[in-house]
Amino acid sequence: MEDVAQRLQAVWQKLHAMPEPAFREVKTAAYLAAALKKAGYQVTEQVAGTGVVGVLDSGKPGPVAALRTDMDCLLFKQPDGSMRGVHACGHDAHMAMVLVAAERLAAAGIPCGKVKIICQPAEEIGQGALAMMKAGALDDVDYLFGQHVMPLSMAKSGEIIPCVQWTACTLISASLTGQAAHASQPHLGISALDAGTAVVNAINALHTDPLLGGSVKTTKFLSGTTLNIIPAKAELGFDLRSTSNKEMEKLRARVMSTVKAVAAAYGVQAETRIEGTCPASEYDQSLVELARTAIREEVGEAGLLPAKATTVGEDFNFYPLQLPRLKTAFLGLGCDLGPGLHDPEMHFQHEDMVHGCNVLFRLIQKALVL
Ligand SMILES: [Zn+2]
Ligand SMILES: [Zn+2]
């Protein structure tokens, strides 16, 4: 146990000291690839850019059970205007737990099938999972497990969530174009600002199914530059959330048709664009049950939390959605994390990485003999 804790801390320290943002995880990838090779994995580098895939083959037939870690950091603007990378979402801890679990699986040996280690770039911009699948990294995988460190409000040190229900998210932007005019002659123009105001009110009146979690908000409204000109342009942005992928599809269509219809009522042209999407979680219940067993063995009944939902997005959810044959589960590690994820001052109890690593190690052993 002592050795595992020390190894986790050493790996974390190394990765924490070299934070790299989405698709630029070059040193991070080289470090993970070298460590996996040393542990006995066949390693493929530069998968989907900076991704790394490690394979441990038992030589015997059986399933392919995989662990996924994300690799990218977040960028924060400094007072001097420069950008500083910080592992404020705990992806350094995720990498440490997955790598050390991988090393221990290789050392212990696996009874059958293969273990696959998926080191995915660019989670923070929602593109890494899709890129890894496009590169074929998940084609032969049967079971895939992910894990995220959780804020204190969701799990304490010594507690683990077997099923983190991430929420679907869609970001939509809209450009409205009317007709500029001198403000003394408003009847000669078509105000994109007035149309935009009506759009905001109409969007605020859209309601999601109260039995499901969800929301639609206007998050951007820019219009007008000069006090005596009727503005011809307005730029709007919307953030949509839903716990259901089906509901999100409907919501997305309603937002886009509402923007167009309201703008048209004012004689204003509207262009809408989907700027980003992330699906809601759809896990395999047999793997979630397996996670419950592994957690119970590690932290006892008291540390096994119920499934918990969060309004945050996570690009892991693309995996089961794009590959319906792939079975997945996603755990949330309690580690007294404060003040919050995506806060540059984020800190957590490092000893809890031992629990996270042990659970991943056991999960793979259990999944291989399912
Ligand atoms: Zn994040
Ligand atoms: Zn994250």
Indicate if the pLDDT at residue 357 is higher than 80. Answer: yes
The CA 241 to ligand 2 mean position distance, Å, reads 17
Indicate if the pLDDT at residue 11 is higher than 70. Answer: yes
Report d(CA 120, CA 91) in Å as an integer. 10
Q: Which residues contact 3 (CB under 8 A, 6 or more apart)?
A: none
Would you say 120 and 52 are in contact if contact means Cβ atoms under 8 Å apart? no
Pull the structure tokens for residue 356: 């996270």
Closest C-alpha among 160, 87, 93, 146 to residue 334: 160
226-254 mean pLDDT: 97
Cis peptide bond prior to 231, omega within 30° of 0 = no
Which pTM value belongs to this model?
A: 0.92
Report d(CA 368, CA 370) in Å as an integer. 6
The CA 187 to ligand 2 mean position distance, Å, reads 51
Query: What count of residues does the chain have?
Result: 370
DSSP letters for 150-188: EETTT--TT-EES-EEPPEEEEEEEEEE-B-EETT-GGG
The CA 237 to ligand 1 mean position distance, Å, reads 21
Report d(CA 125, CA 110) in Å as an integer. 35
351-357 mean pLDDT: 98
The CA 318 to ligand 2 mean position distance, Å, reads 14
Indicate if the pLDDT at residue 1 is higher than 70. Answer: no
The CA 166 to ligand 1 mean position distance, Å, reads 12
φ, ψ at 271 (rounded to 5°) = -115, 130
Residue 30's SS3 state is helix
Residue 142's SS3 state is coil
Q: What is the pLDDT of residues 272-319, one digit of tens each?
A: 999 999 999 999 999 999 999 999 999 999 999 999 999 999 999 999
pLDDT in the model for residue 309: 95
DSSP letters for 319-367: HHHH-TT-EEEEEEEEEEEBS-TT-TT-B--TTHHHHHHHHHHHHHHHH
Domains of the chain, residue spans = 2-166+281-368, 168-278
The CA 124 to ligand 1 mean position distance, Å, reads 5
The CA 149 to ligand 2 mean position distance, Å, reads 8
Percent above pLDDT 70 for the chain: 99
pLDDT in the model for residue 113: 98
The CA 197 to ligand 2 mean position distance, Å, reads 35
**Protein residues placing their CB within 5 Å of the ion ligand 2:** 89
The CA 111 to ligand 2 mean position distance, Å, reads 32
235-247 mean pLDDT: 96
Closest C-alpha among 315, 244, 240 to residue 275: 240
Indicate if the pLDDT at residue 350 is higher than 60. Answer: yes
146-159 mean pLDDT: 98
The CA 72 to ligand 2 mean position distance, Å, reads 9
Indicate if the pLDDT at residue 2 is higher than 80. Answer: no
Q: Which residues contact 262 (CB under 8 A, 6 or more apart)?
A: 195, 198, 199, 202
The CA 348 to ligand 2 mean position distance, Å, reads 14
137-164 mean pLDDT: 98
The CA 180 to ligand 1 mean position distance, Å, reads 41
Indicate if the pLDDT at residue 118 is higher than 90. Answer: yes
Pick the CATH number of 168-278 from 3.40.1390.10, 3.30.70.360, 3.30.1360.30, 2.40.50.140: 3.30.70.360
The CA 206 to ligand 1 mean position distance, Å, reads 28
Report d(CA 193, CA 117) in Å as an integer. 51
Report d(CA 352, CA 333) in Å as an integer. 8
Q: Quick one: which ligand is closest to 68's CA?
A: 2
Per DSSP, 113 falls in state S
2-166+281-368, superfamily in CATH?
Zn peptidases (3.40.630.10)
The CA 147 to ligand 2 mean position distance, Å, reads 9
| DSSP H or E segment with residue 107 | helix 91-108
| Cα three-residue angle 165-98-159, rounded to 5 degrees | 50
4-33 mean pLDDT: 98
The CA 278 to ligand 1 mean position distance, Å, reads 13
Q: Which residues contact 220 (CB under 8 A, 6 or more apart)?
A: 173, 235, 236, 237
Q: What is the pLDDT of residues 69-95, one digit of tens each?
A: 999 999 999 999 999 999 999 999 999
340-367 mean pLDDT: 98
DSSP letters for 186-247: GGGSB-HHHHHHHHHHHHHT----TTS-EEEEEEEEEE-SSTTEE--EEEEEEEEEES-HHH
The CA 7 to ligand 1 mean position distance, Å, reads 24
pLDDT in the model for residue 52: 98
36-42 mean pLDDT: 98
Would you say 104 and 117 are in contact if contact means Cβ atoms under 8 Å apart? no
pLDDT in the model for residue 159: 98
Q: Quick one: which ligand is closest to 91's CA?
A: 2
Across the strands, what pairs with 130?
none
Report d(CA 170, CA 248) in Å as an integer. 8
Please state, rounded to an integer, the average pLDDT across all residues of the chain: 97
Burial (CB < 10 A; 0-12, 13-18, 19+), residue 75, is middle
Q: Which residues contact 51 (CB under 8 A, 6 or more apart)?
A: 29, 71, 118, 119, 120, 121, 128, 131, 132, 135, 137
